[in-house]
Copies of this chain bind each other. A is one copy, B any other.
């Protein structure tokens, strides 16, 4: 078995096209759609498979994103550039749930799945409150948080939450102050759905922070939250 490197080879057709498309990305803005695959294939005089392969490269590099039935979305923006140059936002690790600028994507009453039930300390299948919020900075999706609450008495109030700071809302409407009890931090690649919601390339690294929160004075878990944050944009900090 020969482990030596392969000699350099001439670029294949799909690589040529990928390079060309990458150049031309500068003619687009974030949010623009590329011409349809068939159009591009015709223009380059190749089969659609070959064109798709070229686009695959751009997807891998994180420049564009596919949307079935819609088209190919251009992600690259001047905004992203400095980020990889270590110009990440810095965020206090303990601030989860108190972002002043998050919007609600989902709020439902639903049976607790296994992991959620475990975290909240309730029986699997019991109804719990599930909110999902998205935090944007300058219009860029940054952080997706799932909040799970065990006390469905909060539902009438929580269901009306639409945007702002969730923890401020709890304090203002229900006079409830939540205190962080446990934090778990991990990282992994974004899965397909997550990368769509956060508008990032598939497989991009995400920071995952899971927290257990109590009410002041109480010992049972009132909230379990799971946040997914673009790792290229955020760094968590903590002063001791």
Contact = CB atoms under 8 A, between A and B. Distances in A.
Interface of A: 1-3, 5-6, 31, 60, 68, 70, 88, 90, 93, 179-189, 193, 196-197, 199, 203, 205-207, 231-232, 234-240
Contacts of A185: 93, 185, 207, 235-238
Give how many copies assemble into the complex: 2
Contacts of A68: 6
Contact of A232 (B188, B203, B232): B188
B235 A188 contact: no
24 contacts: A1-B31, A1-B70, A2-B70, A3-B196, A3-B197, A5-B196, A6-B68, A60-B203, A88-B186, A90-B184, A93-B183, A179-B240, A182-B239, A182-B240, A183-B237, A183-B240, A184-B236, A185-B235, A186-B234, A186-B236, A187-B187, A187-B205, A187-B207, A188-B205
Contacts of A193: 5-6
Contact of A207 (B181, B186, B234, B237): B186
Contacts of A93: 183, 185
